[in-house]
Amino acid sequence: MTIDMQTRDPLFIAEQWTSQGRAVAVATVVETWGSAPRPVGSHLVIDAEGNFEGSVSGGCVEGAVITEALDVLQSGEAKMLEFGVADETAWRVGLSCGGKIRVYVERLG
């Protein structure tokens, strides 16, 4: 991995943030079905100030994951989140097909 790729890697950023004393949560895509913007293993890191790096989805899902991550940082309790849209609903909102993702959110340290 090159230095430039490493500095943009969400897990590398999480390590930097924790070494700076920041509270950090990591969200990881653990399962996908159908249409999903990011593959299993994708990460989003969030600090207690709401700063974030990486991606687990996009749009309103990403916003919801950040909100849940802030709760995880407060409580210290990990969460499994699930987001999805049915094929029928997808067509109505202009998407080609439905999909589902599961995202695990945990606090580091």
User: What is the dihedral sign for C-alpha 84, 88, 89, 91?
Assistant: positive
Domain total in the chain: 1
pTM of structure: 0.85
pLDDT recorded at residue 5: 52
pLDDT recorded at residue 3: 54
Range of the domain at 65: 3-107
Mean pLDDT, consecutive 10-residue stretches, the chain (109 aa), reads 65 96 97 88 97 90 95 98 75 60 94
pLDDT recorded at residue 27: 98
